[in-house]
Amino acid sequence: MWIKTTERVCVEIRKQHKDELVVHASFTDVDGNGYEWSSGSPEIMTEWGFKKAEKPLYKVLMTKESSHDKEWQYEYFLYCD
């Protein structure tokens, strides 16, 4: 289950464990129409976790209403069992 958190929490995790974290999963759809599972809006998602862990620790979700928008909206989530 993903629980919404703040940028600050993720920054602190990154600072404490930067050499131990790797990308567990990522998804990039900058146009919002690139894949059959697309949300219909531009979206970039990256899940981070420890190298040998089976589950991620946190994820960053970047979204925009349209590919014409310049600014991305960021959301941060912690993974909890």
How confident is the model over 39-73, as pLDDT tens digits?
A: 778 999 999 999 999 999 999 999 998 888 899 99
Distances (CA, A) of 67 to 29, 32, 40: 10, 7, 10
Distances (CA, A) of 52 to 25, 43, 61: 14, 27, 23
Question: Burial of 1 by CB count in 10 Å (0-12 exposed, 13-18 middle, 19+ buried)?
Answer: exposed
Provide the whole-model pTM. 0.88
> Can you give the residue ranges of every domain in the chain?
2-79
Tally of CB atoms within 10 A around 55: 11
Reading phi first (left if > 0) and then psi (alpha if -120 to 50, else beta), residue 13 is in: alpha
Q: What is the DSSP letter of 34?
A: S
Question: Has residue 25 got a pLDDT over 80?
Answer: yes
